[in-house]
A and B are shown apart, each in its own frame.
Chain A
């Protein structure tokens, strides 16, 4: 059974093609990770999938009554709106005090229920976002760089929590991450995106794929690999110009 699918989705900002014929489908219980360099369209793809952006061609289908838990890459809470952590968990639908307490405890935020959202640290804020996404018992959990700003134990607990939630709710998890080494061990399937889907499959298949190696190199450090790729690219352009 497919929960959520994109069929040859394209998306453009102005004249700029950001997504090109992206096809993917999510089934219950699988953890899928999207990797790709900055600006490769990962966040855009997630926003197309939740319905915030209309694809310029192609189609997105969602199962009837699909519940999505979404953690955006950025969320700015305007200073003018007072909002406690507890109240934030109630959006968009009220949750019981029992569930809220438990969610805060799991997130390691037991005593923060009455704190203002605007007064949280980056990592605490991120934990609350995740807690809110999970508390609604979603069918699909979509996480856009959800571990940003989390400390080491926080990040480890995050991946344990994702595992647990997947087992408990049998939901699909679609996440975006730059932590390549963790991704490879935590996902069932990896999609390598760079405007289009470069390659996809099990972590083993993807990490051996030439397209993936071209983007991320073969080294262990993701950052270094990315740098090398960019560097190569420029170099290539230069020699091109010189030749002309």
Chain B
């Protein structure tokens, strides 16, 4: 069954969206969309460095994303606004990645796969990494759920309960780096944020509790993954962008349904 590239592609997409769906809720609650975007853009630099030093792409992406997060913290501590710091970092990382790749001969083709995804070409190893990473992300979120939620709701309530909200923020940053690595082959660096934001935003329309929103986001994401891959095979369109378009369709329907209900 796993010999079929379509099956592998669908499974890879499902693994990625389950993780992005739930983590995306935190990205939405904490308004970290731009931060997620910067980390995803940094992944392009990560890919370029991995190609240059023949490292595993996944390792390169995670390390670069974390470095960008660290530099971001330094910059904001030095008085830059978060907005400007992220803008500088995201685009610098992206541009630097593109420049480095152009210096490497023959790497151009493989980079576009990381910019826009190439889910239908994932191998068994990729599949294992994607699902492994996704399960780690989901597991940690499950284990830390209440603390993360409290810290997100109000750092002061967290402190009073003996929870250090800065640590929780760091944990979310690490998880975000993991998710970027998990999703890069599925939708590509340029569209990862879409998988974080869109399913969670669609889920917000119907949810009454944070848990409800997380589950609904996973369902919305899974639906988008299935419809998107299906559509891309039918119309011969690129799979990653097709998944995002499907997610946007689900979001639109959820908005309309939400309006009709109220």
Residues on A lying within 8 angstroms of B by beta carbon are 47, 50-52, 68-70, 72, 75, 77-78, 80-84, 87, 90-94, 114, 116, 142
Contact = CB atoms under 8 A, between A and B. Distances in A.
Contacts of A116: 208
Contacts of A94: 146
A75 B158 CA distance: 12
Nearest to B148: A92
Contact of A87 (B154, B204, B210): B210
B160 A142 contact: yes
A81 B152 contact: yes
B231 interface: no
Given A50-B159, A82-B212, A91-B146, 12 more contacts: A51-B160, A51-B162, A52-B159, A72-B154, A77-B153, A78-B31, A80-B28, A87-B209, A91-B150, A92-B161, A92-B163, A142-B160
Contact of A70 (B152, B157, B210): B157
A40 to B, nearest CB: 19
**Pairs of residues from A and B, 5 with the lowest C-beta to C-beta distance, nearest first:** A70-B160, A52-B159, A92-B150, A50-B160, A82-B207
16 contacts: A47-B156, A47-B159, A52-B156, A70-B160, A78-B29, A80-B29, A81-B29, A81-B213, A82-B208, A82-B212, A83-B209, A87-B210, A91-B153, A92-B157, A92-B161, A114-B208
A69 B162 CA distance: 11
A116 B159 CA distance: 24
Contacts of B207: 82
Nearest to A68: B160
A114 B209 CA distance: 10
A90 B154 CA distance: 14
B207 to A, nearest CB: 4
A67 B38 CA distance: 39
Contacts of A93: 146, 161
A3 to B, nearest CB: 14
Contacts of B153: 77, 81, 83, 91
Interface string B192-224: 000000000000100111101100000000000
Interface in B127-142: none
B202 to A, nearest CB: 13
Q: Is the interface of B mostly helix, strand, loop or mixed?
A: helix
Contacts of B150: 91-92
A114 B208 CA distance: 8
A82 B150 CA distance: 13
A16 to B, nearest CB: 18
A110 B67 CA distance: 50
Contacts of B146: 90-94
Contacts of B159: 47, 50-52
A81 B207 CA distance: 9
B159 to A, nearest CB: 4
Contacts of A90: 146
A117 to B, nearest CB: 9
A91 B160 CA distance: 12
A82 B204 contact: yes
Nearest to B146: A92
Contacts of B210: 81-83, 87
Interface string B35-73: 000000000000000000000000000000000000000
Nearest to A115: B208
A70 B157 CA distance: 7
Contact of A84 (B28, B29, B156, B209): B209
A50 B204 contact: no
A82 B156 contact: no
Scoring A51, A82, A91 by chain B CB atoms within 10 A of each residue's CB, the highest score goes to A82
A84 B157 contact: no
Contacts of A77: 153
Contacts of B209: 82-84, 87
Scoring A51, A92, A93, A114 by chain B CB atoms within 10 A of each residue's CB, the highest score goes to A92
A82 B213 contact: yes
A142 B160 CA distance: 9
A111 to B, nearest CB: 16
B149 interface: yes
A86 to B, nearest CB: 9
Contacts of B160: 50-52, 68-70, 142
